[in-house]
Amino acid sequence: DTGVSQNPRHKITKRGQNVTFRCDPISEHNRLYWYRQTLGQGPEFLTYFQNEAQLEKSRLLSDRFSAERPKGSFSTLEIQRTEQGDSAMYLCASSLGAGGPNIQYFGAGTRLSVL
């Protein structure tokens, strides 16, 4: 297994455009998380899936943001009508929900630049 995979690694877009990011978790992991990280800050939680169910969403996730995990495997994060303030690193993590410490494994992230 190659770990958590995120695509694309970098995305440059113009303000007002829609963008979609993909995350492929570690194959046996049933939990998947999206985080956003702005320059000089630690990651901030956006949303969390257990299998295909989206169990928690942060208030940071405005109406322009939507995340899906349709078959409980890969997940997509879509941002509609992007704004310059959306420029950040979007990180995906996955974990095995089988009890014990919930160790999350992170992908390399997708860096979004909104011009």
By the criterion CB under 8 A, which residues form the site for other proteins? 9, 31, 33, 37, 40-45, 48, 56, 89, 91, 93, 95, 97, 101-109, 111
- What is the C-alpha separation between 64 and 91, in angstroms, rounded? 18
What is the closest distance, in whole angstroms, from the C-beta atom of residue 68 to other proteins in the complex?
19
Nearer to other proteins, 22 or 80 (CB): 22
The nearer residue to other proteins, 40 or 85, going by C-beta atoms, is: 40
Between 40 and 70, name the residue whose CB sits nearer to other proteins.
Answer: 40
Q: Smallest gap, in angstroms, from Cβ of residue 114 to other proteins?
A: 17
Can you tell me the distance from the alpha carbon of 25 to that of 92, in angstroms, rounded to the nearest whole number?
8
